[in-house]
A and B are shown apart, each in its own frame.
Chain A
Amino acid sequence: MTFLTIDGLEKSYGKVRALERISLGVAEGEFVTLLGPSGSGKTTLLMSVAGFTEPTAGRILLGDQDITRLDPEDRDFGFVFQGYALFPHLSVADNIAFPLRVRKWPRARIQARVEEMLALVGLEAMARRKPAQLSGGQQQRVALARALSFGPRMMLLDEPLSALDRSLRDSMQQELKRLHRETGVTFLYVTHDQEEAYAMSDRIAVFHRGRLVQSGPPREIYARPANSFVAGFIGGNNLFTARHDPHSGEIDLLGRRLRLGHLDPGLHCADGKVTGWIRPEALRPGPAAPGELELALTLEDISFAGTGDRLFLRSPDGQPLIASQTSGPTGPAFRPGPITCAVHPDDIGFLPARQT
């Protein structure tokens, strides 16, 4: 059952179209992430759902109630802002109590609820502090507790982790997942960080230039990107161009002429050009094992990336490729120059040609 329905939503600023006919459904209790680079429209969509941005056309439904023109204060959504937006003059407890006082809850119930929320985010000891006396991660927890305290119909989160450093981000992701699980509230989450999106979401909606280009579970987005933008944006993919001969069924791929069985014969490629992708971790230096495809490439550079090494390669037809390798403490035993690499045909993907 669809809980939140976004139906043909558009937003224009003068001639600039920030959102183009967005339709998206969110189920009750789902964790949906709007993912895209800055300026892709994901934040505009979130602000429209929150009521801070008035869409030019289209509707937003919650259940069967049309909330498109409802004021933000009447929507009962918990909103978590990028910069936390805590009330600097109020203590942590008073920040969390703010939406409850607005709703005229009785004093005893407010106090009980504030304690419950403080426990939920592990800040019992900080109740009397002012936001300026807290660390970034603690401020973020207060913002979450404040947005959850009044029992919102839905949580809207606008890049809430972007101001935190990396190690804190990882633990806050776990915390957000736990809060989502424990409260059962529907989460609509905006980020430009695909790892964050993978780690937390039930479903990801990828945005590009005001359009919703693909939506689906994280693994599906990762395995089957719908177009070259998604393929490139997700996971630092290697995108390359190949030439396909529809008559012979053969393909010129990174300097080799092959028959590739799983290349969809129904693909439109009138000009014979197709875009393909190989994940950096699927491209492996060394001779091919049975069933694998061997590529003769040139190694141009190696860089250390913490979890492993990144090999900067070039194909005989001049296309750049990256292979990522886990490596031991001594580093990789490769030198710049000709190198043989192997890839399994199943790890080579092709995009529908008309969308590339």
Chain B
Amino acid sequence: MSHFQRWALALTLPAGALMLAFYVYPILQVLGLSFSEPTPGLGNYAELVTNPAIRRVLWTTVQVTVPTTLITVTLSYIVALAMVQMAPGRRRLAMFLVLVPFWISVLVRAFAWITVLRRRGIVNSTLQDLGLIHKPLALIYNELGVVIGMVHYMMPFAILLLYANLSDIDQSVIRAARSLGARRWMIFSRVWLPLSLPGLLVAALFVVIFSFGFLVTPALLGAGRVLMVAEYISVQISNTLNWGVATALSTSLLVAVGLLVWLATRHPALRAALEGGRK
């Protein structure tokens, strides 16, 4: 190791120490608490399986995560595919519009959705004024509202991931397909889709992992009626002070996410897409 390399390594020490003190140590503490609070043993993990309230929360999480992931990835794929084929000027504008939501706090966005979707919100009043519906639709404070809010939050991330993946696809391959006689649908189903499958899976994985940890959006748009894992953990810690179950649930969540990522890296194309670079 050269002198410079030693110094460079030394410069990363503060960051490493911070990680150990404020990330690794708390996680180990969480792990410890899950086995020791209130009594030592596997009691908390047993409760995860037996407690019907926790089972309901997990089921709600799945019920929200699956449609959120499918809708987010589908819509984002459409946007990203359009962006890849745009002229440079338009693409810049589209990229700007995709990035705008990043500048608005997740809290503001959730409240904005409430004003749009509530009983007397823009959507319901417009539909009623047009005579299309007689009673306001229940668009919020249920799973539908949570899914809408989460899709909106996740889309910019998924679009950026998919855009990076799709722009790695050689445009001359698409031209080749056209020169060989393939029309739009053929080119999509036989060239774009198979070539972007790894990127699609990575984007889906990303949305799923994020959905597990979602707190603000389900709490506001679900108004306590759509209780997902993250909110349940937060309630256990700050309201009912049931630390044992909360930390056991957190640990299980961490393991589940780790398992998903590990599975994804088993596949070479997925690993390449995860690492985000051209090979």
Q: Which residues of A contact B (CB under 8 A)?
A: 50, 52, 71-79, 81-83, 85-89, 98-99, 102-103, 146-147, 150, 156
Query: A39: shortest Cβ distance to chain B, in Å?
Result: 19
B172 engages A85 (CB within 8 Å) = yes
For B182, the closest partner residue in chain A by CB is A102
Given known contacts A50-B179, A150-B180, A98 and B190 CB-to-CB distance under 8 angstroms: yes
Chain B interface (Cβ within 8 Å of chain A)?
170, 172-173, 175-183, 186, 190-191, 194-195
In the assembly, what is the distance between CA of A98 and CA of B177, in Å?
Answer: 8
Shortest CB-to-CB span from A70 to chain B, Å, is 12
Please tell me if the beta carbons of B180 and A83 are within 8 angstroms of each other in the complex.
no
Assembled-state Cα–Cα distance A87/B169 (Å): 10
**B170, B176, B180, B183, most chain A CB atoms within 10 A:** B180
A78 and B179: CB pair below 8 A? yes
Contact among B173, B178, B181 for A87, CB-based, below 8 A = B173
Supposing A87-B191, A89-B194 touch, asked if A99 and B172 sit within 8 A by C-beta, the answer is no
Q: Knowing A78-B179, A150-B180 touch, does A102 contact B186 (C-beta < 8 A)?
A: yes
Q: How long is the Cα–Cα vector from A76 to B178 in the complex, in angstroms?
A: 10
Task: Assess whether B173 is in contact with A88, with CB atoms less than 8 Å apart.
Answer: yes
Nearest 7 Cβ contacts at the A-B interface = A79-B179, A99-B180, A85-B176, A85-B172, A102-B181, A72-B178, A89-B194
- The answer to whether A83 touches B170 (Cβ under 8 A) is yes
**A85→B175 CA distance, assembly (Å):** 8
Is chain B's interface secondary structure helix, strand, loop, or mixed overall?
helix
Distance in angstroms between the alpha carbons of A121 and B181 in the assembled complex: 22
- Which residue of chain B lies nearest to A146 when distances are taken between CB atoms in the complex? B180
Contact B172 A73 (CB under 8 A): no
* Min distance, Cβ A140 to any Cβ of chain B, angstroms: 13
The interface residues of chain B lying within 8 Å CB-to-CB of A156 are 179
The chain B residue with its CB closest to the CB of A71 is B178
> Knowing A85-B170, A89-B195 touch, does A52 contact B175 (C-beta < 8 A)?
yes
Contacts of B181 in A (CB 8 A): 73-74, 76, 99, 102-103, 150
Contacts of A82 in B (CB 8 A): 172
Residues of B within 8 Å of A99, CB to CB, are: 180-182
B194 touches A102 (CB 8 A): no
Query: Nearest Cβ in chain B — how far from A133, in angstroms?
Result: 14
- Expressed in whole angstroms, the Cα–Cα distance for A328 and B227 within the complex equals 90
Please give the distance in Å from B182's CB to the nearest CB on chain A: 5
Query: CA A23 – CA B173 in complex, angstroms?
Result: 30
| Residues of chain A contacted by B173 (CB below 8 angstroms) | 85-88
Q: What are 29 of the A-B contact pairs (CB < 8 Å)?
A: A50-B179, A52-B175, A75-B179, A76-B181, A78-B179, A81-B172, A81-B175, A82-B172, A83-B172, A85-B170, A85-B172, A85-B173, A85-B175, A85-B176, A87-B176, A87-B177, A87-B191, A88-B173, A98-B180, A98-B182, A98-B190, A99-B180, A99-B181, A99-B182, A102-B181, A103-B181, A146-B176, A146-B180, A147-B180
List, in ascending order, chain B residues with CB within 8 A of A76's CB: 181
Alpha-carbon gap, A102 to B182, bound state (A): 6
The answer on a CB contact under 8 Å between B176 and A73 is no
- How distant is the Cα of A98 from the Cα of B181 in the complex, in angstroms? 9
The chain A residue with its CB closest to the CB of B172 is A85
Looking across the interface, which residue of chain A has its beta carbon closest to that of B186?
A102
Given contacts A81-B172, A85-B173, contact A73 B178 (CB under 8 A): yes
Task: Add 16 more A-B contacts to A71-B178, A98-B182 (CB < 8 A).
Answer: A50-B179, A73-B178, A73-B179, A74-B181, A75-B179, A79-B175, A79-B180, A83-B170, A85-B172, A88-B173, A98-B180, A99-B181, A99-B182, A102-B182, A146-B180, A150-B181
A77→B179 contact, CB < 8 A? yes
**Across-interface contacts of A72 in B (CB, < 8 A):** 175, 178-179
Rounded to whole angstroms, the CA-CA distance of A76 and B194 in the bound complex is 25
Chain B residues whose CB sits within 8 angstroms of the CB of A79 once the complex forms: 175-176, 179-180
Which A residues are CB-close (under 8 A) to B170? 83, 85
Nearest residue (CB) in A for B179 is A79
Residues of B within 8 A of A50 (CB): 179
Chain B neighbourhood of A103, CB < 8 A: 181
CA distance A78 to B179 in the complex (A): 7
Residues of A within 8 A of B182 (CB): 73, 98-99, 102
Measured CA separation A67–B99 after assembly (Å):
42
| Given A76-B181, A99-B181, CB of A81 within 8 Å of CB of B195 | no
Q: In the complex the two chains form, what is the Cα distance from A89 to B194 in whole Å?
A: 7
User: How far apart are the CA atoms of A76 and B179 in the complex, in Å?
Assistant: 7
